[in-house]
Amino acid sequence: MRVSLLAIAAAGLAAASSVWGLSGDEENNVAIYRRLNAGVVNITNRAVAYDFFFNPIPSDSSGSGFILDTQGHILTNHHVVQGAQRLEVSLADGTKWIAKLVGADPQTDLAVLQVKAPSEALTLLPLGDSSSLQVGQKVLAIGNPFGLEHSLSAGIISSLRKIVKTGAREIEDVIQTDAAINPGNSGGPLLDSEGRVVGINTAIFSTSGGNMGIGFAIPINTAKRVVADILAHGYVVYAYLGTETQTLTPALARALELPVEQGAIVVRVARGSPAIKAGLQGGTKQVVIGNAIVIIGGDIIIGADSMKILTSEGLRRLIHKHQPGDLMKLEILRQGKRVEVEVKLTEQPR
């Protein structure tokens, strides 16, 4: 009987501990926040607008970022720093520093800042690997929503998307999460359960302006390439073909009586570009098909690097995976015949 009573008492203590104490998952959340929240910064973007009488009207907006190295480099979103006339970074110890914009890339919505804070005041966040992320994986977001002090939200990766359109921007290879991301969280880190940065919080899907359980983050592997280019050049280097294209849809293909259903119609070829040097041909006349205006008579790109090209966006994304100097093999339809063309890509003009 005594053994049974001891067993019952032990079970009761365990139950009480699970009620009053922290679960293993909660302890993990707390430990990550305590260890890394000092590496997340608040960024104030100060701009000056003018009223009807040309009186200056200063306006402030804020976002988040995180510290990359002991030289004071900080990673954030391009839209957080866009249009700034003065950037101020607040560290976790309460100190404020004027930040220099090292470089920004609107295409990936990323930017790098630098502050001249002493290295001992900087908490660095470890970078992870976003190539092996899985739907259902736990993630944590740290940021400054609505300009408040640091906050932590937890959730999972709810989807891994090839492309997301936010307003006029189109962002590739995006992490979707249900971790709460609100205005001010932009530019802050998305962390895995080991406390490694796997993404940069960038946008929310919302009809009200607040969190609705659908947030987006840029994968850290994308950010690594962007940061390396910005630190080396001050901008991001992209490969360049030099064509303006329009998507060929099955409906357009039927109307034009083409032997292919999808591809990228070459509308124009830029002077001096790799495309024109390789002999690609742009359109020669404009036609109206339904509600669409189509420039025809030029080449139609139907394949590249042994892959089918279905849309103009697909061609652009494939070009972005190349580096200047790479050779790209294109399969085109020219006057009803399939032709193969090899193009040497160059650096995209700035």
Beta bridge partners, 263, equal 248
Q: Which residues contact 192 (CB under 8 A, 6 or more apart)?
A: 128, 137, 138, 139, 140, 198
Active site residue 186: yes
Question: Is 254 exposed, middle or buried, given 0-12, 13-18 or 19+ CB atoms closer than 10 A?
Answer: exposed
* Percent of the chain at pLDDT exceeding 70: 84
Identify the CA nearest to 237 among candidates 228, 246, 245: 228
Q: Which tens digit of pLDDT belongs to each residue from 176-235? A: 998 888 767 889 999 999 999 999 998 765 444 555 568 899 999 999 999 999 999 999
Q: What's this model's pTM, rounded to 2 decimal places?
A: 0.81
Average pLDDT, the chain: 87
Catalytic residue among 109, 178, 192, 299: 109
H helices then E strands: how many in the chain? 7, 23
- Percentage of the chain exceeding pLDDT 90: 67
Helix (H) or strand (E) holding 187: none
- Phi/psi of residue 82, each to 5°? -60, 130
312 noted as active-site residue: no
CA-CA distance, 196 to 233, in Å (whole number)?
A: 27
Q: What is the per-residue DSSP string for 132-148?
A: G--TT-EEEEEE-GGG-
Structural domains in the chain plus CATH codes: 130-233 (2.40.10.10), 239-347 (2.30.42.10)
Q: Tens of pLDDT along 85-127?
A: 899 999 988 899 999 999 999 989 999 999 999 999 999 999 9
The residue from 62, 73, 78, 79 that is catalytic is 79
The predicted structure's pLDDT at residue 334: 95
79 included as an active-site residue: yes
- Summarised one tens digit per residue, pLDDT across range 147-192 is 556 789 999 999 998 777 665 567 778 999 988 887 678 899 999 9
Q: pLDDT band for position 27 (50/70/90)?
A: very high
What's the mean pLDDT in 3-25? Answer: 55
User: Helices marked H in 185-328 — which ranges?
Assistant: 220-233, 250-255, 274-277, 312-320
- Selected catalytic residue, list 64, 151, 186, 312: 186
With a cut of 90, say whether residue 74 has pLDDT above it: yes
Run of H or E including 5: helix 2-20
The one-letter amino acid code at 25 reads D
